[in-house]
Structure 1
Amino acid sequence: MSLSRKSLLALAISAATAAPLALASQAESQGFIEDSHLSFLARNMYWHHDYHTYKNSPQWDADRREWGQGLRLDYTSGYTQGTVGFGVDASAYGLIKLDGGRGHAGTAGVLVPDGEGASDTAGSVGANVKMRISNTELKYGNNLRPYNPVFAAADARLVPGTATGLWLTSNEFSKANFEAAHLTAAKDFNSTNSDDDFWAAYAGVSTDTVDFIGGNFTITDNLTASLYGSEYTDIWRQYYGNLNYTFPISDDQKLNFDFNIYQTDDDGKKKAGKIDTTAYSLAAAYTLGAHTFKLTYQEIDGDQPFDYLGLGPGTFHDSIYLANSSQLVDFNGPNEKSYGAFYNLDFASYGIPGLSFGIRYIKGTDIDGSKLAGSGSAYAGLYAGADGEEHWERDVDIKYVVQSGPAKNLATRVRWATHRISGAAGWDGDADQVRVILEYPYEIF
């Protein structure tokens, strides 16, 4: 049975006919206009990625720099009153090139490429129509932004990635929520075209259809679980599970354990070749007041890497909920094992609310792509020469959010990452990256 349409239809019927747990959400609707909201977001981003490994390669721009301004206007209507409510969502996105890095425009994925670098300005619009019964909502349009372990459109550039299709969410039960989608087109964060394909990011192959279904469950006050499944037509079927447990020690101390696992198998025409990969991670975190210390372990069990969503060729989104996925690399090579140490500090306890600091170090070992050579796999070009490769990444993250006054909610963030590798497995190589992000959200009404 296909995961896609039949599963989606089953969930839709189940949610829509769920016992009369009250028409709580829809019954409280004040109206299409009365419950509407309009918000504005200005995001300024400077991105500098220095690929040391490729400094002497005439066919590779090793010094990638872009600086731009993103503008976003989001309108969300309320719902018409009655048993079934109707509404619309609409967004307008704008990008302005501030600097292409002295000839490096169009190389970092921040701005919109135009064939000769990056466009000076670019814009797009998107909209959804929506329907709500009780606490179940169905949206159709080209401005969908699902965010879950198997399909997470990133909002890590000037504007977010979006998708076209049907997206159902249901919150009929107090300790469980569900969602499902049938998606038929994409718009990347550096594109104005809403008719692009979905991509397997590392494989570099595409599909025009993605389906997913899943949900989150509260088992006890301290224990939660998630289960998801997805189908990237003719590329893979992917299944995800999560368990998250928090053990409170005292008012300002706690332990948290987070386990994530994916199983990915090839599907249909096998555009990326054979895939049979199990990827999992375990994180243990100890919080003491303002301080959080975390240790992580991650393993890829399979002769192919763990792969996930792209919304365009060469871009990577957020559908990787593994503990060691980092700013530059994901530690997801074939048969790779990785170990991480994290530290985070919230300065609110020291009289500076809004300021936070984080640092992490991750080391990956045993990357083995030897079984990819000659296999016809789409991953062979990235990993076929890897045999026992090792690499590490160090990330530093500093963020401050203004807490009051005219500039309230203005956020400034600096992200600095360093990656070094023993060989050349994957496209990563030795690299340094700096991102400087200024963001100002404003609620108009």
Structure 2
Amino acid sequence: MTKYKLSAIALALMTSVPALAASQADSNGFVEDSSLDLFLRNAYMNRDYRNGDQDKAEWGQAGVLTFTSGFTRGTVGVGVDAFGMYGVRLDSGRGRAGAGGIDFFMVDNNGDVEKDVAHAGAAVKARFSKTVLAYGDQRPSLPVLSHDDSRLLPETYTGTMITSNEIDGLTVHAGRFNAQHRKSDEGRDSGELKSIDVLGGSYQFNDNIRGALYASDVEDVLKRQYVNLNYIRPLNQGDTLTLDFSGYRTKQDKEFDTRGDRNNLWSLSANYATGAHDFTLAYQRSSGDTGYNYGFYQSEGAVGDGGTTIWVANSFWSDFNAEDERSWQLGYGLDFTQFGIPGLSYNFAYVHGTDISIRDSVTNVREADSASEREIFNQLKYVVQSGAAKDMSVRLRSSVLRASNSYTQDGNEVRIFVDFPMNIF
């Protein structure tokens, strides 16, 4: 987990819009460069909250069919991307559905759980040189607007995005989105997003250093800025040392919070990889008038910028992002390839957070005492290397979360995901 997470920030910035870096001069045509992919996911997620009777679990089967066209030939090429997704509930009855942190299937006002969910969308795109303009339904993966694909079905957003790679090593994004499709519900704007503007980019300075700077403005909710610097230093005998800094600065709009609270959240991590092993040490700090606010849906009174828009080191079940929180992580990863089992990996992390400010629910004044939390994370993953099931992965993940002063709910979490990506053509 840790080796992946350290590189994931830089990797996601480089691949947030796949296959768009190619020049229009290299276009082979609308049909010739097109592809059709099917992604199947069987997902089970259980959260056993230990300070109440909230044993929540959902299980479902999903499929996402994605068509990506090439661009027509010429100075300006045009194309279209389209998708259709469907999820069916296998089990989440007996009152176990409805946890906001799981959100596979919506629960209506009568307490009935949706039996299935379907959604389809498309975007038209145009490319000039190495710049692409896309309008329609999209799945952005940016540090200030990152769609949530960590549950059964992914979120999608409707709007406009420009992605430019005109300068070698530099990727620039600019966009405006005005609708958010909730992953557990049908409808184009089931998240009831007003609008979000995003602007920024990432730059590969050389083989070892990469940086990024992004900003977003969620209408009547908040303004956010993000900075990242990633440094990889090769060592002797193939070992590597990776240093990663990520930070957010957020100011909540007074339309959303009458106090206009601010938050600063940053993390610094070091990862040492040697042979089959990698070791991580990370420190994360949250400061300001409130904790880091992100994710979920404006229809639920939240921000609406994507459930995974928190690209910092200590983000597992808990994100360790509460008001004034300080947290440390010790992580370990093991790749079994060198032991004759390619595709098998294990990851462990222990994170301890302290100094969490607790406010009186009536006066909103900080209490004298502070809270703490700790999480033990384990994940075992296997990716099939060959044969008819090549690239299919099985991921077993568990977290144990404990907190003091009733800051948050204690709980045990289990996730079992079986993912099978297939290229049809």
TM-score (norm 2): 0.89
Deviations 1:142-193 (A, max 9, x none): x211111111001111211000110111111111101011010101211212
Please give the secondary structure, in 2, of the residue aligned with 1:196. coil
Check if 1:308 corresponds to 2:298.
no
TM-aligned CA distance change 1:161 to 1:119, over 3 Å = same
Residue range with higher mean Cα deviation, 338-347 or 94-103: 94-103
Match of 2:75 in 1: 83
* Mapping 1:36-435, distance limit 5 Å: 36-55=34-53, 62-107=54-99, 108-115=102-109, 116-141=111-136, 143-197=137-191, 207-267=193-253, 269-271=255-257, 273-311=259-297, 313=300, 317-326=307-316, 328-370=317-359, 374-375=363-364, 387-425=369-407, 428-435=408-415
Number of equivalenced pairs: 398
Please say if residues 360 and 367 of structure 2, whose CA atoms lie closer than 8 Å, have aligned partners that are also in contact. Answer: no
User: Shift in Å at residue 433 of structure 1?
Assistant: 0.6
Paired residue secondary structure (1:82):
coil
Segments of 5+ residues of structure 1 without an aligned counterpart are 1-22, 56-61, 199-206
Q: Contact conserved, 1:423 with 1:429, CA < 8 A, in 2?
A: no
TM-superposed CA distance for 1:197, in Å, is 3.9
3-state DSSP of counterpart to 2:83 = strand
1:439 equivalenced with 2:419 (yes/no): yes
Tell me which residue corresponds to 2:33.
Answer: 35
8 Å CA contact retained: 1:64, 1:104: yes
Q: CA shift at 1:271, angstroms? A: 3.8
Residues 184/385 of structure 1: CA separation in 2 closer, same or farther (3 Å cut): farther
Q: Cα offset for 1:272?
A: 6.5
- Report the Cα distance in structure 1 between the residues aligned to 2:94 and 2:322, rounded to whole angstroms: 34
In the TM superposition, residue 372 of structure 1 has moved relative to its aligned partner by 7.8
| Compared CA separation, residues 385 and 194, structure 1 to 2 (3 A) | farther
Q: CA deviation at 1:106?
A: 3.8
Give CA-to-partner distance per residue, 1:32-68, whole Å, 9 cap, x none: 111111000110011111111123xxxxxx0111110
Q: Which amino acid aligns with 2:420?
A: Y
Q: Return the offset for 1:385.
A: 6.0
Residue 14 of structure 1 corresponds to none
* Cα contact 1:346–1:356 (8 A) shared by 2: yes
> SS at the partner of 1:309?
coil
String of CA shifts for 1:230-280, please: whole Å, max 9, x gaps.
Answer: 111112111111111111112421111101111111336244642211111
Unpaired segments ≥5 residues, structure 2:
1-20
Letter in 1 for 2:292: F
The match for 1:5 is none
CA contact under 8 A between 1:68 and 1:110: conserved in structure 2? yes
* 1:351 shift after superposition: 1.2
1:106-149 Cα deviation digits (max 9, x unpaired): 443112434433222221111111111111111111x2111111
Q: Distance in 1 between matches of 2:180 and 2:272?
A: 39
The answer to whether the 8 A contact 2:118-2:186 is kept is yes
Identity of aligned residues (%): 38
State the TM-score, normalizing by the size of structure 1. Answer: 0.85
CA contact (8 A) 2:175 2:198 kept: yes
Coordinate RMSD, CA, aligned = 2.0
Q: Distance in 2 between matches of 1:95 and 1:337?
A: 39
Pair 385,88 (structure 1): closer, same or farther in 2 beyond 3 Å: farther
